[in-house]
Amino acid sequence: MYPVRYEDMVLTKILESKHLFIWPAFLTVLIVSLFPLVYALIVSFQSIRLVPPIPPRFVGLDNYAEIVSSARFWGSITTTAIIVCISVFLQYVIGFTLALTLHHNVRGASLYRVVFLLPMFLAPVCVALIAKMLFHPVLGPVNDLFTIFGSPNISFLTVPPLAIAVLVIVETWQWTPFVVLLMLAGLQGLPSDVFEAARVDNISIWRRFRDITFPMLLPLSIAVIFIRMIEGFKIVDTVFILTGGGPGTSTETLTLFAYNEGFKKFNMGMTSALSFMFLIVVIVFGSVYLAAAQRIVRRYK
Amino acid sequence: MRKVFMNHVELKQVSKSFGGIQVIPPLDLSIRSGEFLVLVGPSGCGKTTTLRMVAGLEDASGGEILISGVNVTNNRPGERDCSMVFQNYALYPHMSVRDNISYAMRVHGVEKSEIDLRVGDAIKLLGLEDYIDRKPRSLSGGQRQRVAIGRALVRKPQVFLFDEPLSNLDAKLRVEMRTEIKLLQRKLGTTAIYVTHDQMEAMTMADRVVVMRAGVIEQVDSPITLYEEPINQFVASFIGSPAMNFMEGFINDGTVVLGDQQVTLSPEDAARLCSATPVIFGIRPEHFRRSDHQSELSLTPNVVEPLGAHTLILGSLEGQKITVQVDPRFEVEPDIRCTVPIDMSQAHFFNPTSGIRL
Ligand SMILES: Nc1ncnc2c1ncn2[C@@H]1O[C@H](COP(=O)(O)OP(=O)(O)OP(=O)(O)O)[C@@H](O)[C@H]1O
Ligand SMILES: [Mg+2]
């Protein structure tokens, strides 16, 4: 038999001391995030109303059943999905384009770099308020622009398709900088000699983008879009300020729906159930997206 | 049929400045068709910059670059029909070996059968059969190197440009690869410009070597001429390994006086060099040997390095460091003064101020 090796002893020590490192963090996570989650889950199986107060009563899956059978829920999913899909697509395309332009050092790039990032630093509420003024049916400059071409006053925020378009524009305006920031970082991290090799090999700028830049940034792109999608699903403040979900519930998003249930009707059981439905919807969309992304990545692997 | 030009690549008064700093003063260089030209020099002397100007990756600040008689100074890199092997290979990381090699041809619409033929040839030539479907990241340095060469090769360019392609390889592989590259280039007959800071590589591969210092070409000659007739002290010290020894002295009546020792000049040198001139006396370590024009020097060995084929003595002579290469049977002990023969027909003399060989 060989004596116990020194390395093995060190390894055992490390394995023992792992508890010291893991448990505090684990307990914190447990208390801070898991407990509220479990509590919300329990509440979602109950009927609780705060105003007027009704004592909690276990109702099983009734809340969920009610949600799934309500047209308002499916409407809010559709609205959210439309806003998210279109705005994230626009954010990505415009953001990537801007990042490419900035990367190729156009004149005054450092100025643009700062200016382009500003919208991201504004609170969504402020952005929504600004947008509300811009798109005001009578006083807004956007309306003025249209009336120059002889169009009558347009009530941007009260016609459902237009209202959704405005929401998409506001989302895109605010979050494109995020895409610019990350894609620019990605571009600057790419090895420059690979592109020089392509230039020497007489590869056109478009083919360089299509065959080299894009595939090399694909993993980053997937992550950026994923983050924007998840974040996009949480949209509430912009909609709340701009349209309040109206006209009717035609622009109501999932979170706004939950908000209305919770803070207008104070129907906590229903709200918790809605939050979990929201989680499920995000997971479904996220998984579908990742599965699709995986297929694209595999084509390049 | 490609028209054959005597001077395939020509640099006329080409210069380069970064910002306000001129790193390459106007430089003239012509490279013959089919020639293997090596640019060599210490780090930072502007070899890469020169090569990149030929490739078009760096704009020349002044002068003209001609390839096959065509002025390409303002052409994009792609229009120059060069292919380049980069120091860090610059392979497309997301493409397999096969795709890396065939990519440029596919983009340029070369016929499928032709692509397959050329890629197949390159892969066989470079011994990459087992790796064709691998990604660069799962290849070793030497394999990546070969892929990079393959990629440059299949395009059948007018000019090959190599930027220190072997610097990341281990010593053994470097020796193997330099022979392979040289053979390949000779077989294809393509003009090649090769940058290295390794004088061994330069000597073994080149038809002609360009020795550069601080952006200035010091000498352009065949390896053997560089070795035997270096134009100045810089070239003499740069070419050859171990490096040439230099000692200050002066000429006195058919001898060189080095401190309190004297060595006798060969008759030709004695006739050439006037008495009383101060000189830098240069002698390579391998020229401490017996010959017809032999003289002797005594020195104090500090370190003795037996290398098998020969023995190196690192010693001091009149307070100056000196490296001597002797026969392995030569009897020598550290710190015990010894006398070594010098082949004076191989001695060099340099002007102490200008460094020019006399
Ligand atoms: N983009 C640049 N901006 C400013 N100075 C530069 C730039 N590129 C190179 N230089 C300078 O030009 C000089 C020559 O550089 P170059 O890369 O050609 O050297 P080299 O001979 O290839 O050296 P090495 O053997 O280390 O690769 C160096 O002094 C370097 O600092
Ligand atoms: Mg270099």
Structural domain ending residue among the three candidates A58, A80, A100: A58
* Judgement on whether residues A46 and A144 belong to the same structural domain of the protein: no
- Residue B94 Cα to ligand 1 midpoint, Å, equals 29
Please give the Cα distance from A229 to A12 (Å, whole number). Answer: 44
Of all atoms in ligand 1, which is nearest to the CA of residue B19?
4
- Look at residue A81 and tell me if it is in a domain: yes
Q: Match 């009558």 to its residue by tokens.
A: A152
Distance CA A132, CA A141 (A): 11
**What pLDDT was estimated at residue A301?**
63
- Residue A183, number of CB atoms within 10 A of its CB: 23
A158 and A47 in a common domain = no
* A208 domain-assigned: yes
More confident residue, B161 or A48: B161
Predicted confidence at residue B274, as pLDDT, reads 81
Backbone torsion region of residue B26, taken as left when φ is above 0, otherwise alpha when ψ lies between -120 and 50, otherwise beta: beta
ipTM: 0.81
* 8 Å CB contact of B79 and A203: no
Residues A74 and A254 sit within 8 Å (Cβ to Cβ): no
Q: Which atom of ligand 1 is nearest to the CA of B52?
A: 18
**Same domain assignment for residues A232 and A275:** yes
pLDDT tens, N- to C-terminus, chain A (301 residues): 556 677 777 777 777 777 888 888 889 988 888 888 888 888 888 888 777 777 788 888 888 888 888 888 888 889 999 999 999 999 999 999 999 988 887 777 778 878 888 888 888 888 888 888 888 877 788 878 888 887 777 777 788 888 898 899 999 999 999 999 999 999 999 998 999 999 999 899 999 999 999 999 999 999 999 999 999 988 888 888 888 877 878 888 888 888 888 888 777 888 888 888 888 889 999 999 999 998 888 877 6
Residues A150 and A94 in one domain: yes
Give me the pLDDT at residue B195, please. Answer: 94
Tokens of A176: 């494109």
Which ligand 1 atom sits closest to the C-alpha of B212? Answer: 21
CA-nearest residue, atom 29 of ligand 1: B44
Phi, psi of A209 (to 5 degrees): -65, -50
Amino acid, single-letter form, for residue A296: I
Chain B's closest residue to A205, CA to CA, is B78
Compute the average pLDDT of residues B22-47.
91
Alpha carbon distance, N-terminus to C-terminus of chain B: 47
Closest CA to A185 of A123, A118, A122, A117: A117
The Cα B46–Cα B24 span in angstroms is: 7
How far is the centre of ligand 1, averaged over its atoms, from the C-alpha of B154 (Å)?
29
Domain assignment present for residue A292? The answer is: yes
pLDDT tens, B222-264?
A: 999 999 999 999 999 999 888 999 998 888 888 888 888 888 8
- Mean pLDDT in residue range B318-339: 87
Are A196 and B88 a contacting pair at CB < 8 A? no
Which residue, judged by its Cα, is nearest atom 3 of ligand 1?
A: B18
- The domains of chain B are located at 7-238, 245-350
Asked whether the predicted pLDDT for residue B293 surpasses 60, the reply is yes
The beta strand positions in chain B, using DSSP E, are: 7-18, 21-32, 36-40, 62-67, 70-71, 82-85, 159-163, 191-196, 208-213, 216-221, 245-252, 255-258, 261-264, 278-283, 294-306, 311-317, 320-326, 338-343, 348-350
Chain A hits for B56, CB-CB cut-off 8 Å, are: 199-200
Residue found under tokens 């499920």: A280
Same domain as A166, residue A224: yes
Q: Give the per-residue pLDDT at B2.
A: 46
Mark whether A148 and A207 lie in a shared domain.
Answer: yes
Is A64 within the bounds of a domain?
no
Do B78 and A300 lie within an 8 Å CB cutoff?
A: no
Q: Write the class of the CATH domain B245-350.
A: mainly beta
Over residues A167-221, the pLDDT tens digits come to 999 999 999 999 999 999 999 999 989 999 999 998 999 999 999 999 999 999 9
For ligand 1, what atom is nearest to the CA of residue B46? 18
Query: Residue B228 CB: number of other CB atoms within 10 A?
Result: 12
Domain assignment present for residue A63? The answer is: no
Measured distance CA(B235)–CA(B199) in Å, rounded? 10
DSSP 8-state code for residue A56: E
Give the per-residue pLDDT at A207: 92
Nearest CA in chain B to A191: B90
Segments in chain B forming alpha helices (H): 47-55, 97-107, 112-125, 141-154, 171-188, 199-205, 223-228, 233-238, 267-272
How big is the CA angle at B141 (ends B95 and A183), to the nearest 5 degrees? 45
Q: Closest ligand 1 atom to the C-alpha of B215?
A: 14
End-to-end CA distance of chain A: 47
Give the β-pairing of B191-196 and B159-163: parallel
pLDDT score, position A162: 86
Interface of A with B in 28-87 (CB under 8 A): none
Distances (CA, A) of B39 to A172, B82, B223, B291: 53, 17, 12, 34
Model pLDDT, residue A186: 93
Report the C-alpha gap between A22 and A12 in whole angstroms: 16
Q: Which domain holds residue A32?
A: 6-58
Q: A264-288 burial string, b = 16+ CB within 10 Å, else e? A: eebbbbbbbbbbbbbeebbeebeee
Q: Which residues contact A126 (CB under 8 A, 6 or more apart)?
A: none
Our answer on whether the CB atom of B18 is closer than 6 Å to any ligand 1 atom is yes
Which of B57, B102, B161 should be substituted to probe chain A, the one whose Cβ sees the most A Cβ atoms within 10 Å?
Answer: B57
DSSP 8-state secondary structure symbol assigned to residue B28: E
Residues in chain B within 8 Å Cβ distance of A202 = 76-79, 104, 108
**Quick one: A194 and A116 in the same domain?**
yes
Number of structural domains (chain A) is 2
Position A226 scores a pLDDT of 93
Query: How many Å separate Cα B197 from the centre of its chain?
Result: 6
pLDDT reported for residue B236: 92
Tokens read off for A204: 């056109």
Would you state the pLDDT for residue B84? 92
Last residue of a domain, one of A34, A58, A82: A58
- State residue B178's pLDDT score: 87
Smallest CA–CA distance from B157 into chain A, residue? A201
Strands B21-32 and B36-40: unpaired
Look at residue B65 in the predicted model and tell me its pLDDT: 92
Eight-state DSSP code of residue B232:
B
Q: Is B46 in the pocket of ligand 1 (CB under 6 A)?
A: yes
Distance from the CA of B85 to the center of ligand 2, in angstroms?
A: 12
Show the tokens assigned to B336.
């015990």
Class of residue A31 by CB neighbours under 10 A (exposed 0-12, middle 13-18, buried 19+)? exposed
Here the CATH number for the domain that contains residue A220 is 1.10.3720.10
Nearest to B209 by CA among B196, B222, B197: B222
Q: Which of A193, A203, A216 sits opposite B90 (nearest CB)?
A: A193
Q: Are B168 and B140 in contact (CB under 8 A)?
A: no
Note whether A203 contacts B84, CB cutoff 8 Å.
no
**Is residue A16 a part of any domain in this protein?**
yes
- Collect all residues of chain B within an 8 Å Cβ-Cβ radius of residue A301: 94
Task: Note the helical H segments in B84-125.
Answer: 97-107, 112-125
Ligand 1 pocket member B47 (CB < 6 A)? yes
Enumerate residues 196 to 235 of chain A having a beta carbon within 8 A of any beta carbon in chain B: 196-204, 207, 211-212, 215-216
| List of residues 6+ apart from A137 with CB closer than 8 A | A143, A153, A154, A155, A156, A157, A158
Q: Under CATH, domain B7-238 is a member of which superfamily?
A: P-loop containing nucleotide triphosphate hydrolases (3.40.50.300)
**pLDDT (0 to 100) of residue A274:** 87
Give the model's pLDDT for residue A145: 83
Q: What is the pTM of this model?
A: 0.79
Q: Given this model, what pLDDT does residue B1 score?
A: 39
Is the predicted pLDDT of residue B49 greater than 90, yes or no? yes
CA B237, CA B225: separation in Å to the nearest integer?
A: 14
- Centre of ligand 2 to C-alpha B48, Å, is 4
